[in-house]
Amino acid sequence: MEKDLSNYRKSYEQGELLLNDTPENPMELFQKWFHEVDHFFPQDETNAMTISTIGTDGFPKSRVVLLKKYTFEGFIFYTNYESEKGKAITKNPNVCLSFFWAGAERQIIIKGKAKKIATNLSDGYFESRPKGSQLGAIASNQSQPIESRELLESKLRNLEKTYENKEIERPSFWGGFIIEPISIEFWQGRPNRLHDRIVYKLDEDYNWIKSRLQP
């Protein structure tokens, strides 16, 4: 099988990113971009992000997860702590996040360290989820093999009966991670592949230092 993709080309002309127009804290720019994309490009799942980890087998792996909260401290998402990604993060907390918003021709790449959030925060988010999602988190031994889809659905039906008139407590193996950034790069597509790239890096005194990178 062979397919030549050399003629796939697009000119990026949606905007620009100038160093003098950027704030001192990258989270302010993240919030601005997030709100703009969410407003002007509603067809995109704005909070969808790719997280890359180094697996227990030594190989990197990337997958899309959903950002559920961001603060000045970092970016929070939820998962099964015993999943492949959960185990990878436990062994090596250095991760990379990336957002790609095709409509806005923007990309954000974040390097940081992941750690579990407080249990009460995970409890609060779990309680806010629809009951089906709560039971789904319990039914799935995430990343583990299973013989069939039918077996998984059977597990869910049994749980629905068990918890029909009961509150569902968050299982201890499920909760949130926060990625505390050490580097955040903002990428704005430009014509002729001369893209704008502004990167913020955290220095040893926890100050953000920003600079422009060549495309």
Q: Which of 9, 129, 170, 193 does the annotation list as catalytic?
A: 193
Cβ atoms of 44 and 106 within 8 Å: the answer is no
Hey, how many other C-beta atoms are within 10 angstroms of the C-beta on 89?
A: 23
Match 């014509």 to its residue by tokens.
Answer: 191
For residue 44, the one-letter residue type is D
Angle at 40 between CA 215 and CA 210, to 5 degrees: 35
Radius of gyration of the chain from its Cα atoms, rounded to whole angstroms: 20
Dist CA 97 CA 113 (whole Å): 10
Tokens of 100: 């790609």
The 8-class DSSP code of residue 130 comes to: -
Answer yes or no: 129 catalytic. no
Instruction: Report, as residue numbers or ranges, the catalytic residues.
Output: 193
